[in-house]
Amino acid sequence: MDFDKVGTYAAEHTTADSELVKELIAASKEDLEHTDMLSGRQVGQLLTMLIKISGAKRVLEVGTFTGYSALKMAEALPKDGQLFTCEYNKRYEDIARTFFEKSDEGSKISLLMGKALKTIPTINGSFDFVFLDADKINYPKYYDMIIPRLKEGGVMVIDNVLWDGEALQPEGEKAEAIDQLNKQITADELVEQVMLTVRDGVTIVRKK
Q: DSSP readout, 37-66?
A: GS--HHHHHHHHHHHHHHT--EEEEE--TT
Alpha-helical (H) ranges within 55-172 are: 68-76, 90-102, 116-119, 139-146
Q: Given this model, what pLDDT does residue 191 score?
A: 98
pTM of the entire predicted model: 0.95
Q: Given this model, what pLDDT does residue 33 score?
A: 67
What's the pLDDT tens digit per position in 107-136? 999 999 999 999 999 999 999 999 999 999
pLDDT bracket for residue 4 (50, 70, 90)? confident
- Distance separating alpha carbons of residues 110 and 33, to the nearest angstrom: 26
Q: Where are the beta strands (DSSP E) in 149-200?
A: 150-159, 191-196
Q: Given this model, what pLDDT does residue 121 score?
A: 97
For residues 159 and 203, the answer to whether their CB atoms sit within 8 Å is no
- Distance separating alpha carbons of residues 189 and 205, to the nearest angstrom: 11
What's the pLDDT tens digit per position in 12-59? 999 999 999 999 999 888 877 666 667 788 999 999 999 999 999 999
Q: Where are the beta strands (DSSP E) in 114-162?
A: 127-132, 150-159
Average pLDDT taken over every residue of the chain: 94
| 172 vs 38, residue with greater confidence | 172
Q: Given this model, what pLDDT does residue 6 score?
A: 86
Give the residues across from 129 on adjacent strands. Answer: 59, 155
All domains in the chain, ordered by first residue = 3-207 (3.40.50.150)
- Distance separating alpha carbons of residues 85 and 185, to the nearest angstrom: 22
Mean pLDDT of 129-157: 98
Nearest of 50, 171, 150 to residue 185 by alpha carbon: 150
Q: Given this model, what pLDDT does residue 164 score?
A: 93
Q: Given this model, what pLDDT does residue 39 score?
A: 75
- Distance separating alpha carbons of residues 116 and 191, to the nearest angstrom: 23
At residue 154, does pLDDT exceed 90?
A: yes
Buried b (16+ CB within 10 A) or exposed e, 6-41: eeeeeeeeeeebeebbeebbebbeeeeeebebbbbb
Q: Given this model, what pLDDT does residue 36 score?
A: 61
